Amino acid sequence: MTGLSDKVAIVTGAATGIGESIARRLFADGARLVLVGHGGRPLQDLARELDPGGDRALTVVGDVRDPECMRKAAALAEEAFGGLHIAVNNAGTPGPGGTLIEDLSLEDWETVIGTNLTGMFLSLKAELPLIARSGGGAVLNLSSANGIVGVAGLAAYTATKHGVIGLTRSAALEYADRNVRVNCIGPGYVATPRMSEMPAEALEALGSQHPLGRLATREEVAEFAAFLVSDRASFCTGGFYPVDGGYTAQ
């Protein structure tokens, strides 16, 4: 164990993808975890794999769009572990791809906005006061490289990821005097299990959009996430940090 052995963390969207890798990294660094996700079995399998004894990894199965989900997660962190020091708000959905605004249904728009932005708001609403009461700590929100550029055919997703940056900066200013740092990162395209379902030529095309010429690994994103929520990043707050292989430098 390393520098997080005295820390308690919530990770949303932890059952798979980037969230899973961040959860694994924080656990390896010594943190006690409350894992949140709507995929009950994968989430519980991850908790059992990480912590067979059930002492350091607990789960909350629910939807971040439901205020009770994140209230329950925060209450569990406090009751089981005595407080909360770190939150990684990763839960999100891309929504339909390649869809023009005129063809995007209101239902799909509301699903993406509800998960990526309202869910982020509800997560922060539950987490920030508890982190402050616990003596301070760090929040990391997952935006995207697409949070600072436009993407045709992904209007809802792009709008939410821009919104996450604004929400992050407002939260950082509101809680700076309470010793809570709030940042967000913007991954480029990442080699997740969901991405691996795409045809090889499509993955190669996505990788080629990054000047480094490939997709990111989940572990590369988790490495930077672990840095930003640790005391090594103690003077970083209100920031947006691309982890995108040069994608947004073009």
Query: The dihedral of CA 42, 66, 105, 188: what is its sign?
Result: negative
d(CA 35, CA 24): 11
User: Which alpha helices (H) appear in the chain, and where do they start and end?
Assistant: 17-28, 40-50, 67-81, 106-113, 119-133, 155-175, 200-208, 218-229
Other C-beta atoms lying within 10 Å of the C-beta of residue 75: 15
157 is catalytic: yes
d(CA 191, CA 134): 35
d(CA 238, CA 221): 18
At which residue do the structure tokens 């020091």 appear? 85
Catalytic residue among 157, 175, 241, 247: 157
Q: Using a CB cutoff of 8 Å and minimum separation of 24, what contacts does 37-45 make?
A: 37/12, 37/13, 37/61, 37/91, 38/62, 38/63, 39/15, 42/15, 42/16, 43/14, 43/15
**Residues known to be catalytic:** 157
